[in-house]
Amino acid sequence: MIQLHKRSGKNPHLQPTIMISFKMKMVLLVGALIIAIITVIGLFIGHFISVTMEAQVGDRALSVAESVAHIPELAEAFGHEDPASIINPLVTPIQKATNAEFIVVGNTEEIRYAHPDSNNIGKKMVGEDNEKALVYGESYVSKAAGSLGDSVRAKVPVYLDGKIVGVVSVGFLANDIQSIITSYNIHLWIVLITVAIVAVMIAILIASYLKKVLFGLEPEEIAHLFIQKETILQSTHEGIIAVNQHGMITLLNSAAQRLLFNHVIQPEQYEGMAIKDLATAHQLLRLLHDENNRIDQEMMIGNTIVFANKAPIYFENSLVGTVFTFRNKTEIDLLTKELMSIKQYTNALRAQTHEFSNKLYTILGLLQLGKKEEAIHYIQLESSLQKNWIRLLIQKVSDPQVSGLLLGKLNQASEVGIDIAIQEDSRLETRLSEKQREALLTAIGNLIDNAMDAVNQKPSADRKIAISFTDIGNDIIFEVDDAGQGVPDLYVRLVFEQGFTLKKGEHGGFGLALTKQSIEGVNGEIYLEEGDLGGASFVLSIPKEGRESDA
């Protein structure tokens, strides 16, 4: 089981030179972004408020000016001898009611008939922007400096009997408008600054959360670890598959890709793929649903036997995925075969040593009893047996590794009291290729071992195995016949399937499957038939050199 934990400290060997922490970087970057955004928003809204306020004040002034200009009494007053005496009292209440800074009424000569300051009545209007109203009859809003200061004012012509007789000017001082705008801007910036402070505090919380989620690592450390672990994953010879809790593949290293697809593929080709969709990995799906951890579980992936391991991944006591690792058993067998050869020679020497020691004691006993002729006869008999074995294998088998294997098995069988007979007309003179030799060594070793296991429980007189081989035709044929119990008809079709075994124990059922795979790898065949000794007889055939598969 793989359990992920939060980091509680730094690894100085993985931590690069960092001047500012990730949390501080994030707070500064987010803070700068928030300040920039709020500044732009504040300036835009401030400008919008200023423009809108001036437009609203102008519209208000224009509305008041039009209302005043359309008062009948005001227009008729222009025909009296003293218009100011009528007009000024008429507009003064309107000015107070509308909070206008001024309402000025003048004639076509721009002489004032109404003004907030009575001293200015009778004087010429200031601003020189009455032409459009007095000459062209337009109503409009303008900004200009008057007798009361800078103002936003509206100009509307006054008509009497269809003729322009004067102009009404309604204004609001720019200073008053700016005071209102400034008040709005102060409230706006207070709100925006408050939002900025809250946003920075949220950024600090988010940065703290991300720091916690990332196990306290800095981005540079994460990048360093990612590159390091990716290199480790892709360079290892073990296949690695990671799936999430839903059985979707999240990682396949190159070794696993070659085993599953026979080549390396791009991540987008397997990411999001369900492990159940891998036709070559159906046994992994069965292993995934197994609640127990598995170590070195033998299984078949595609046409390859592997040792598979399973380890669930837990994060905060919740299952978040599973990791499978597996090694190609065939690759391990390459080393195993070398060790087996050494072991076989060792067993042969051990058997010979053991037998030789017993024979020496036998000879010593005969000599001590004074039976010299019996001792000589015994020595000649044993010497003849060993010489016959060696001579038989030298004459019949041209390949030294195959003959060495057979000699080792003969001595091993002799040690445990099993009689192995090699048929006299057997011969194997064909020169074997490397692939043929490896396949034949694997097959012969497994078949003879199975035969020895089959007869091991029989009485000593019935422990017999017969071996025959020939290369007379186009194929190399090898047969191992034993005097064991044989294979029931019900199981004949199952003996070469991986995991099937008639032996007791959990880890059987792979020897014959591996034998079949090795033989088929050189375009050979292996089958089971009833033997002459009453037990099982396994027969294999391999095409001679030049006809084996290159796969």
Q: For the segment 87-129, what is each residue's pLDDT rounded down to a tens digit? A: 889 988 998 888 888 889 988 888 888 988 888 888 888 766 7
**Among the CATH numbers 3.40.50.1260, 3.30.450.20, 3.40.50.970, 3.10.129.10, which is that of 221-331?**
3.30.450.20
Which has the higher per-residue pLDDT, 248 or 348? 248
Q: Is the pLDDT of residue 30 over 80?
A: yes
Q: What is the pLDDT of residue 201?
A: 87
548 pLDDT more than 50: no
Most confident range (mean pLDDT) of 167-171, 402-406, 508-512 is 167-171
The pLDDT confidence band at residue 407, using thresholds 50, 70 and 90, is confident
In this predicted model, which residue has the larger pLDDT, 376 or 186?
Answer: 186
- Residue among 67, 110, 109, 111 nearest 90 (CA): 67
Task: Say if residue 149's pLDDT is above 90.
Answer: no
Alpha-carbon distances of 202 from 31, 192, 196, 209, rounded to whole Å: 10, 15, 10, 10
Cβ-based neighbours of 491, under 8 Å, separated by 6 or more? 500, 502
- The percentage of residues in the chain with a pLDDT greater than 90, rounded to a whole number, is 5
Higher pLDDT, 501 or 120: 120
Q: Which residue has the higher pLDDT, 547 or 299?
A: 299
- Asked if the model's pLDDT at residue 184 lies above 80, the reply is yes
pLDDT average, residue stretch 202-228: 79
pLDDT, greater one: 141 or 288:
141
Helix and strand element counts for the chain (H, E): 13, 16
Quick one: pLDDT band at residue 348, thresholds 50, 70, 90? low
Other C-beta atoms closer than 10 Å to the C-beta of 105 total 29
Half-sphere CA count of 309, side-chain side, radius 13 A: 12
Distance CA 4, CA 316 (A): 7
Angle between helices 329-368 and 434-455 (to 10 degrees): 60
Across 476-486, average pLDDT: 89
Whole-number Å distance between alpha carbons of 412 and 349? 9
Q: What is the pLDDT of residues 243-291, one digit of tens each?
A: 888 878 888 788 777 777 777 777 666 777 777 777 566 666 667 766 6
Q: Is the pLDDT of residue 532 over 60?
A: yes
Q: Which CATH superfamily is domain 396-543 in?
A: Histidine kinase-like ATPase, C-terminal domain (3.30.565.10)
Tell me the mean pLDDT in the region 512-520.
83
- Res 550: pLDDT: 41
Residue 529 burial (CB < 10 Å; 0-12/13-18/19+)? Answer: exposed
More confident residue, 165 or 280: 165
**Helix, strand, coil percentages in the chain from 3-state DSSP, rounded to 5:** 50, 20, 25
Whether the pLDDT of residue 16 is over 70: the answer is: no
Confidence of residue 157 (pLDDT cuts 50, 70, 90): very high
- Checking if the pLDDT of 237 tops 70, the result is yes
- Which CATH superfamily is 48-180 part of? PAS domain (3.30.450.20)
d(CA 432, CA 438): 9
DSSP H/E element including 511: helix 511-520
Which has more pLDDT, 121 or 234? 121
d(CA 470, CA 479): 9
For residue range 379-394, list pLDDT tens digits in order.
666 655 555 666 667 7
344 has pLDDT over 60:
no
> What's the whole-number average pLDDT of the chain?
78
The separation between CA 13 and the C-alpha centre of its own chain, rounded to angstroms, equals 26
pTM listed for this prediction: 0.41
Q: What is the pLDDT of residue 127?
A: 67
pLDDT level of residue 31 (50, 70, 90 thresholds): confident
Residue ranges, comma separated, of all CATH 3.30.565.10 domains in the chain are: 396-543
Residue 345 has pLDDT above 60, yes or no: no
**pLDDT value at residue 480:** 92
